[in-house]
Amino acid sequence: MNWKHLFSRSLAANPERLHFAAHSHHLWPDASHAGHVAAWEDAATLADHKWDKIMGPVWSEAQRHVADELKLPDPVTLSFAPNTHDFIVRLLSAIPTRPARVLATDGEFHSFRRQMKRWTESGEVVLETVAPDALLDTARSGAFDLIFASHVLFNSGTIISVLDRLAALARPEGPWVVIDGYHGFMAIETDLSQIADRVFYLSGGYKYAMAGEGVCFLHAPTGFAARPVVTGWYAAFDDLALPPGDVGYAPDGRRFLGSTFDPSGLYRFNAVQKMLASEGLTTAVISDHVAGLQGQFLEDDPLSGFELLNPIEGEPHARFLAFRGGLAPSLHDILADKNVVTDVRGDVLRIGFGLYHDREDVSRLTKIIGQLT
């Protein structure tokens, strides 16, 4: 199958480019352009009153899309923010003890690692990191306020498969279990229905949701972290009639809101979700398409001198292949000079596949790499 027609604007903007970084900056489909224009038109037409629409039907629609994808029992547990870092800061602020005791894998994303390191320096946090396969045993044996783990590790594509057992440890008084789903949301079929009452879940639209920046979200279980210390006035929408001096919070996921934000990401996200539904493109369908392209690439074997960190073994798989090798940085740079976009993290070359690729694209990629290695 070929779905390039859904990405005609992005592909036409640089026709000779081979963009194999769908796991990084996923190319935007044409529907996102329509959503972006709709955001502008509402701002022009409604002006100040646009927020009634944004915090009403636009917001509710986006919540429904996320809840349907994750099988969440109630969409109102969701809130949106420009990035997941905002939510991490608010979550940590809600932990009453200092220093907060945090457990994480040793493969978390740069932003999380940097913030935790700085909080450790300042005395806000005591951090313990472990290999992914040691996470559950360590979580069971230690006393932690926060347990943080990516569903799919960004650097290796490793999938954490013990989410339900981590969730069993969660309590409103602590520990809180936080799943970073940025490389899992809409890449791997994810059913949170049985653990939604015990875990936090973070993700966003930048990657496989194809909606671009500015539309990240948090699912926050009821009864956990009721009053974040870091908070903005949007978190008090239900309590604007409180007496001056009282700090009120919305009773649902909106308790994690900040303040005024750019809503265009919500419009793009909703527009892309409608497009996917109209095309019958579920996460399972897209994953099947990607798996076929990944299999073709591995069969061609243009990176035989590299170690594949996330082999395809018939289980759910990341949307990218992660290859470790000393030549990864230089190969990435040479490919970039040839208008082939991949991604490198240290000595790991990541090649991401998406809807806008077909078998001919993979053949072109393997041919170019074969000429360089």
pLDDT digits over 14-46, tens only? 999 999 999 999 999 999 999 999 999 999 999
**pLDDT for 245:** 66
Residue 243 has pLDDT above 70, yes or no: no
Q: Closest Cα partner for 66 from 146, 172, 184, 152?
A: 184
**Mean pLDDT on 216-227:** 97
Which residue matches tokens 């919070």? Answer: 249
**pLDDT for 247:** 87
Note whether 4-30+281-372 and 32-275 share their fold. no
* Phi, psi (deg, nearest 5) at residue 361: -60, -45
Q: What is the pLDDT of residues 126-177, one digit of tens each?
A: 999 999 999 999 999 989 999 999 999 988 889 999 999 999 999 999 999 9
**pLDDT for 236:** 84
CA atoms within 13 A on the CB side of 298: 19
Q: What does the angle CA 94 – CA 100 – CA 106 come to, to the nearest 5 degrees?
A: 110
Rounded alpha-carbon distances, angstroms, from residue 167 to 67, 195, 219: 18, 6, 14
Alpha helices in 175-326 (DSSP H): 264-279, 283-300
Longest alpha-carbon distance in the chain: 71
Task: Round to whole Å and give the CA distance between 264 and 32.
Answer: 10
Task: Round to whole Å and give the CA distance between 11 and 154.
Answer: 25
Alpha helices in the chain (DSSP H): 8-13, 30-46, 50-53, 59-70, 84-94, 110-122, 135-141, 163-167, 264-279, 283-300, 328-337, 359-372
DSSP string, 296-319: HHHHH-TTTTSEESS---SS---S
Q: Considering only 168-182, 234-248, 280-294, 334-348, which range has the smallest mean pLDDT?
A: 234-248
* Chain center to CA of 183: 5
The correct CATH number of 32-275 out of 3.40.50.300, 3.40.50.1980, 3.90.79.10, 3.40.640.10 is: 3.40.640.10
- 268: its two tokens: 């793009």
- 237: its two tokens: 């929408």
Task: Round to whole Å and give the CA distance between 330 and 339.
Answer: 14
* Phi, psi (deg, nearest 5) at residue 276: -60, -40
Which residue matches tokens 């290999």? Answer: 131
Residue 372 has pLDDT above 90, yes or no: no
Q: Closest Cα partner for 77 from 201, 215, 259, 175?
A: 201
**pLDDT for 356:** 97
Contact assessment for residue 249 and residue 255, using Cβ atoms and an 8 Å cutoff: yes
**Can you give the pTM of this predicted structure?**
0.95
Q: Closest Cα partner for 282 from 207, 351, 209?
A: 209
**pLDDT for 314:** 81
- When pLDDT is cut at 50, 70 and 90, the band that residue 93 belongs to is very high
User: Per DSSP, what are the bridge partners of residue 185?
Assistant: none
- Three-class SS of residue 75? helix
Contact assessment for residue 267 and residue 32, using Cβ atoms and an 8 Å cutoff: no
* Phi, psi (deg, nearest 5) at residue 66: -65, -45
The domain ranges of the chain are 4-30+281-372, 32-275
Query: Any idea which fold 4-30+281-372 has?
Result: Aspartate Aminotransferase, domain 1 (3.90.1150)
